[in-house]
């Protein structure tokens, strides 16, 4: 199978229906949803809607089966050891908070957690709050001049008190892919666990958590062509099994009396209340579709667009690219500054050209500080983008400069 | 389909409640519940020279769960651990194999075959078998 | 406008499409979804999908507007003072956990929280975990013989250390509606706050949180004809404003540095990460539809079915109804036991008759203990149910008794 | 639409940056940010006998935000609190009234009217006005 760009675009209702055509380059914020996910959710709600787990009638069985099949699909996408390692959450942020609370409960004052300066706020602020609650020491892995996480600095940073290293798989600002192997090696040498924030990785293909050798992986459905309202925490089952519950309520208990409660085993222990059932089914459909795609072709396609974008930006006056300017170990997410022009103004004018770009701090203020900026423009490419999208952006930027200067 | 589920053989098994009641001289016990449906079993077993000599259980569960516990109450005494492990495997095959193939399953378990079609009830039937397995391998204080 | 049952049923795709016809009586677990919610979500994903809040391009503005319009619709449904009192969560359970963590953080060892013995696990276990974390004293408001929350007992129970009384608006087991006015009066007399779990109330019509005089209200979308994956916490704005954040991440911060962060004002402070955007829009559509309905007619319709159900059950041999057997201050949720028959077996046989009923402890084990049972059968009626549904259930029960005895 | 947004009058205002820079002898200050977009302003004001005699601000924001701050830098000195409250109300009306009605809005604010159509940018224009209001009613230590 080879990658057919036009056919693929047609499978995204918003892109297919947009008039005038939309050059959607804000995929790092949210990707468009694939029709398989939309269809799976509608089918679920129209033919199999019931609460899961405890119903014995056929409709409830069908709903439970669909939900657990979605879990199995996530497990296949991540190459998890078993579906029981897959916890459905409402998004990457809630998955990360789950770890900060449940795994975090085992940490003591003086224990260390290391995060990088390139983290999204969702993988930073939960650890700051844990620091407030328990007195852990939060250390920061520096980034290189072009914004890459500097894994070599771990040698001087990780001590025997280090319990967890939590880093992003791919930066939502620079597109840089983290050297997870180096992180894992350093973590293992001090006995620390490794959490990887995969929010920006999963839209670029299946992940192999076993090969990565990590302990926790988190991502959101809405950034990988699936629905909003759903996310995933993957973790080694033995780790999950040792963790206390976080949210409490129906479906995660054993015996409940006024005096106290016992808890179910993972993953149920971490899925309190009625989960996002239809959304899990939608995510399962999107990931199944992703699993079948010709990723070699798609990577080449994405790199071609990335190259055109980097080259085009380099030619514009006053443009500074944040992060790596080469094609090595990165995904097609490019942030840039235009001297004297505020990103919100830039993106506003680009909108006139049908180009959807995001400007701001991208929920990564420490990284912005590193670059000496309050915010930046960001173009982020998904598999359905075309050279025409890149050209519209580059042409639009000429107009931006004319209008705003 | 559901009619078969509650066929006479199953109802009779549940009614008979073989092995019902705790075992005073248990060598091992296990308490297990299915948090999803609330079925609960406490199962005692007395083992001598690798052979199960007696079994007792306190089962709070549905008809299917009680029938399965009763099946054990009938079949386990006199059997070895290995034999009960095989019975457990046969039941799993009966319920979960992609295609129904009864050739490898003893006849006395066949009344459970309609449960195949009702995934939400698999746990009910398996719970007593899991409790026996746990009592034999990872016993708790009774 | 008067209530047209057949026309209303036709607006629920699953009911309209089910073959053979489905007698869906598990509405307390999850209701079927109204077509307006399905349509609103599909439209959102097909025409307005973008991340919210920070985008300046038109698509992102449209998404943000739709999300905030949904918040305004929830506010109207609840008669909130302002939409800023409405926090979107992933469900009732997560809303209740939010309060247990954020409001709970202000409680000290020895402070008291009172819940009733009729609570759903989702409004019980979070307080047990808070007790573990902080040493609060958890007290239990007793229930009467027929399972009603006994508000008069508050006189002897609530002391000046009482900080919160948290009760369900309507029991998911007995359908009994709590006397909130009595709870509020008792709470005010000791200076305690009142949280009401509205999960079982909202499917029976709009709520007026101002008239109730309460402080917190929680509910789920999937139980009021809306989507899964969305819920609401309403709270007085001043209370919310005084509460620390719970989940942390993008969208709920002000300034973030490695040293620490500042937080946005409510509701954003409590909506970390990308929220369930399409699901909020779907919920908004469902609640708008609910707001327009002729509730006087619908209540009469629901009561007629309830009456037929109660009378029919009373005639069956060995049937014991849990909870009130009259029509006063209750919704059409009826749990019952059949002597010697396990609820799972009962519901299994009913399924053959196309009747969807739930059996089990209904996530209310303490209440089940009160009734001396492990579990019960529950029939729960929604506005789209008909007398034919009740008759199918009652006929089915005759077969149940024949098959299982 | 967006073209008008960045019309010459707005660009000129931003460029002029009236009142830019902190005020050494401020009688009150306010620091405000828009957490949704990251715009930040620190605004100082010197008041005498109920009259604003000078204003200063450090604005990190987009062109629209800087234009609004500059508008204040030009209009506030010499005005009373009440006069500035009215200007704030006029701007709010210009941006948020259901139907555009410019009859009650002073001419110097009209260049901001295209912002109406861009809800996500309302906060940019309003931020300096909110900072002034806060400095006048609920001042923090500068
Ligand atoms: C790297 C990274 N981590 C975490 C998140 C949080 O994802 P969500 O907002 O879907 O919870 C994002 C999304 O913005 C991200 O880019
Ligand atoms: C009274 C009550 N409270 C809370 C809940 C929890 O709702 P959810 O599972 O949607 O979070 C339920 C639903 O079962 C309920 O009936």
For residue range A158-200, list pLDDT tens digits in order: 999 999 999 999 999 999 999 999 999 999 999 999 999 999 9
Which residue in chain B has the smallest CA separation from A61? B120
Residue A31 pLDDT level (bands cut at 50, 70, 90): very high
Give pLDDT, residue B2.
42
Which residue among C345, C351, C352 sits closest to B63, beta carbon to beta carbon? C345
What ligand 2 atom has the least distance to the C-alpha of C92?
11
Q: Which single residue is written with the structure tokens 């620490």?
A: C260
* Rounded Cα gap, residues A143 and A140, in angstroms: 9
The 10 Å CB-count burial string (b at 16+, else e) for A188-201 is eebebbbbbbbbbb
C220 C-beta closer than 6 A to ligand 2: yes
Check residue A186 and report its DSSP letter: H
pLDDT one-digit tens code per residue, B67-114: 999 999 999 999 999 999 999 999 999 999 888 888 889 999 999 999
Is A121's Cβ below 8 Å from some Cβ in C? yes
A380 C-beta closer than 6 A to ligand 1: no
Residue A318: inside a domain: yes
Residue A363 is among the residues annotated as catalytic for this protein: yes
Residue B120 pLDDT level (bands cut at 50, 70, 90): confident
What are C247's two structure tokens?
């989940």
Closest CA to C162 of C193, C140, C131, C118: C193
Residue C43: inside a domain: yes
Q: Which residues of C touch A353 (CB under 8 A)?
A: none
What are B7's two structure tokens?
């066929």
Asked if A368 and A356 sit in the same domain, the reply is yes
**End position of a domain, from candidates C291, C309, C333:** C291
Residue A318 pLDDT level (bands cut at 50, 70, 90): very high
Least confident range of A170-179, A344-353, D49-58, D93-102:
D93-102
- Work out whether the CA dihedral A248, A251, A256, A258 comes out positive or negative: positive
Residues D44/D22, Cβ–Cβ less than 8 Å: yes
pLDDT one-digit tens code per residue, D115-142: 998 988 999 999 999 999 999 987 664 4
**End position of a domain, from candidates A291, A322, A351:** A291
Residue D35 pLDDT level (bands cut at 50, 70, 90): confident
Substitution target in C344, C355, C405 with the highest count of B β-carbons within 10 Å is: C344
Residues A207/A78, Cβ–Cβ less than 8 Å: yes
Q: CB–CB of A351 and C57 under 8 A?
A: yes
pLDDT one-digit tens code per residue, D46-74: 999 889 999 999 999 999 999 999 999 99
Report the Cα–Cα distance between both ends of chain A, in Å, rounded: 48
**pTM of the full structure:** 0.95
Give pLDDT, residue A120.
98
B3-137 is classed CATH 3.60.20.30: no
Asked if A190 and A319 sit in the same domain, the reply is no
Which residue among D35, D119, D120 sits closest to C264, beta carbon to beta carbon? D35
Q: Is the peptide bond before C20 cis (omega within 30 degrees of 0)?
A: yes
Give pLDDT, residue B142.
43
pLDDT one-digit tens code per residue, A221-243: 999 999 999 999 999 999 999 99
What are B11's two structure tokens?
């109802």
Q: Which residues of C touch D61 (CB under 8 A)?
A: none
Q: Which single residue is written with the structure tokens 């009058």?
A: D9
pLDDT at D40 over 70: yes
Asked if C125 and C219 sit in the same domain, the reply is yes
pLDDT at B30 over 80: yes
Asked if A276 and A319 sit in the same domain, the reply is no
pLDDT at C216 over 70: yes
* Mean pLDDT of the region A90-106: 98
Distance from CA of C121 to the nearest CA of A (A): 5
DSSP3 helix / strand / coil % (chain C, rounded to 5): 45, 20, 40
Substitution target in A84, A254, A268, A270 with the highest count of B β-carbons within 10 Å is: A254
Residue A43: inside a domain: yes
* Rounded Cα gap, residues A249 and B35, in angstroms: 13
Beta bridge partners of C341: C338
* Mean pLDDT of the region D97-110: 89
Least confident range of A64-68, B64-68, B100-104:
B100-104
* Mean pLDDT of the region A214-226: 98
Beta bridge partners of A337: A320
Give pLDDT, residue C57.
92
* Rounded Cα gap, residues C245 and C264, in angstroms: 9
Least confident range of B63-77, C44-58, C221-235:
C44-58
pLDDT at D3 over 70: no
Give pLDDT, residue A1.
65
Residue C404 pLDDT level (bands cut at 50, 70, 90): very high
Asked if A77 and A204 sit in the same domain, the reply is yes
* Rounded Cα gap, residues C334 and C173, in angstroms: 7
**End position of a domain, from candidates C260, C291, C322:** C291
pLDDT at B3 over 50: no
Residue A241: inside a domain: yes
Asked if C244 and C195 sit in the same domain, the reply is yes
Number of domains in chain A: 2
Asked if C218 and C111 sit in the same domain, the reply is yes
Give pLDDT, residue A275.
98
* Mean pLDDT of the region A24-35: 98
Distance from CA of A246 to the nearest CA of B (A): 18
Query: Beta-carbon neighbour count of residue C185 at 10 Å?
Result: 14
Give pLDDT, residue D60.
92
What are C24's two structure tokens?
């869906």
Residue C32: inside a domain: no
Which residue among B1, B3, B124 sits closest to C344, beta carbon to beta carbon? B124
Asked if C309 and C277 sit in the same domain, the reply is no
Mean pLDDT, all residues of chain C: 96
Asked if A14 and A79 sit in the same domain, the reply is no
Is C138's Cβ below 8 Å from some Cβ in A? yes
Asked if A312 and A255 sit in the same domain, the reply is no
- In chain A, the percentage of residues whose pLDDT exceeds 90 is 97
Residue A32: inside a domain: no
Asked if A139 and A14 sit in the same domain, the reply is no
A220 C-beta closer than 6 A to ligand 1: yes
Domain containing residue A61: CATH number = 3.40.640.10
Distances (CA, A) of D135 to D41, D81, D90, D138: 12, 11, 19, 6
* Rounded Cα gap, residues A246 and C288, in angstroms: 33
* Rounded Cα gap, residues D10 and C381, in angstroms: 60
Q: Which residues of A touch C257 (CB under 8 A)?
A: 365-366, 369
Residue C19 pLDDT level (bands cut at 50, 70, 90): confident
3-state secondary structure of A29: coil
Residue A83: inside a domain: yes
pLDDT one-digit tens code per residue, A115-137: 999 999 999 999 999 999 999 99
* Mean pLDDT of the region A369-373: 96
* Rounded Cα gap, residues C69 and C77, in angstroms: 12
Q: A228: Cβ–Cβ under 8 A, 6 or more apart, which residues?
A: A30, A91, A221, A222, A279, C274, C275, C276, C277, C278, C279
Closest CA to A83 of A267, A288, A283: A267
pLDDT at B138 over 80: no
* Mean pLDDT of the region A283-288: 98
A89 C-beta closer than 6 A to ligand 1: no
* Mean pLDDT of the region A277-284: 98
Q: CB–CB of A122 and C90 under 8 A?
A: no
Q: D9: Cβ–Cβ under 8 A, 6 or more apart, which residues?
A: D111
Give pLDDT, residue B35.
72
Domain containing residue C387: CATH number = 3.90.1150.10
Residues A151/A180, Cβ–Cβ less than 8 Å: no
Distance from CA of B48 to the nearest CA of A (A): 33
Which residue among A24, A59, A124 sits closest to C356, beta carbon to beta carbon? A59
Asked if C157 and C304 sit in the same domain, the reply is no
Give pLDDT, residue A128.
98
Residue A31: inside a domain: no
* Rounded Cα gap, residues D136 and D142, in angstroms: 12
pLDDT at C1 over 70: no
pLDDT one-digit tens code per residue, C118-143: 999 999 999 999 999 999 999 999 99
* Structural domain boundaries, residue A82: 38-291
Q: Residue A346's Cα: distance from chain center in Å? A: 26
């Amino acid at each position: 199978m080879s990658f057919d760009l036009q056919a693929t675009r047609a499978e995204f209702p918003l892109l297919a229906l947009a008039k005038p055509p939309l050059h959607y380059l804000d995929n790092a914020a949210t990707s468009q949803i694939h029709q398989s996910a939309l269809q799976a959710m509608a089918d679920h709600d129209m033919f199999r809607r019931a609460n899961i787990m405890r119903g014995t009638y056929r409709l409830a069985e069908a709903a439970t089966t669909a939900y657990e099949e979605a879990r199995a699909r996530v497990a296949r996408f991540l190459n998890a050891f078993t579906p029981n390692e897959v916890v459905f959450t409402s998004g990457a942020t809630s998955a990360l908070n789950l770890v900060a609370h449940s795994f975090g409960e085992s940490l003591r004052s003086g224990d260390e957690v290391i995060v990088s300066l390139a983290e999204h706020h969702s993988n930073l602020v939960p650890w700051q709050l844990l620091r407030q609650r328990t007195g852990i020491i939060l250390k920061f892995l520096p980034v290189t001049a072009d914004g890459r996480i500097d894994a070599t600095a771990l040698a001087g940073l990780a001590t025997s008190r280090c319990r967890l290293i939590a880093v992003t798989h791919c930066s939502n600002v620079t597109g840089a892919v983290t050297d997870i192997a180096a992180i894992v090696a350093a973590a293992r040498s001090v006995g620390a666990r490794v959490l990887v924030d995969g929010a920006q990785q999963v839209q670029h293909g299946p992940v192999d958590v076993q090969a990565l050798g990590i302990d926790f992986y988190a991502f959101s459905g809405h950034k990988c062509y699936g629905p909003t309202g759903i996310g995933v925490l993957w973790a080694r089952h033995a780790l999950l099994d040792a963790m206390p519950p976080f949210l409490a309520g129906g479906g995660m208990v054993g015996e409940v009396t006024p005096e106290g409660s016992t808890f179910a085993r993972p993953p149920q222990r971490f899925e309190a209340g009625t989960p996002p059932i239809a959304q899990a089914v939608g995510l399962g459909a999107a990931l199944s579709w992703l699993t079948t795609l010709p990723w070699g072709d798609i990577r080449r396609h994405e790199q071609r667009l990335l190259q055109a974008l980097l080259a085009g930006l380099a030619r514009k006056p006053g443009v500074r690219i944040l992060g790596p300017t080469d094609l090595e170990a990165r995904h097609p997410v490019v942030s840039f500054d235009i001297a004297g022009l505020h990103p919100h103004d830039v993106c506003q004018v680009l909108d006139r050209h049908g180009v959807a770009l995001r400007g701001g701090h991208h929920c990564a203020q420490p990284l912005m500080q590193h670059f000496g900026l309050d915010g930046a423009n960001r173009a982020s490419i998904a598999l359905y983008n075309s050279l025409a999208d890149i050209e519209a952006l580059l042409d639009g930027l000429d107009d931006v400069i004319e209008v705003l200067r | 389909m559901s009619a078969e589920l509650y066929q006479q053989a199953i109802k009779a098994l549940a009614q008979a409640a073989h092995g019902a009641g705790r075992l005073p001289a248990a060598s091992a016990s296990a308490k297990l519940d299915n948090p999803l449906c609330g079925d609960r079993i406490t199962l005692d077993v007395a083992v001598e020279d690798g052979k199960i000599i007696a079994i007792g259980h306190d089962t709070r569960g549905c008809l299917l769960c009680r029938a399965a516990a009763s099946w054990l109450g009938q079949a386990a005494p006199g059997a070895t651990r290995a034999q009960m492990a095989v019975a457990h495997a046969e039941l799993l095959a009966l319920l979960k194999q992609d295609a129904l193939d009864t050739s490898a399953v003893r006849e006395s378990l066949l009344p459970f075959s309609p449960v195949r079609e009702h995934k939400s009830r698999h746990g009910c039937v398996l719970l007593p078998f899991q409790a026996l397995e746990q009592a034999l391998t990872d016993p708790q204080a009774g």
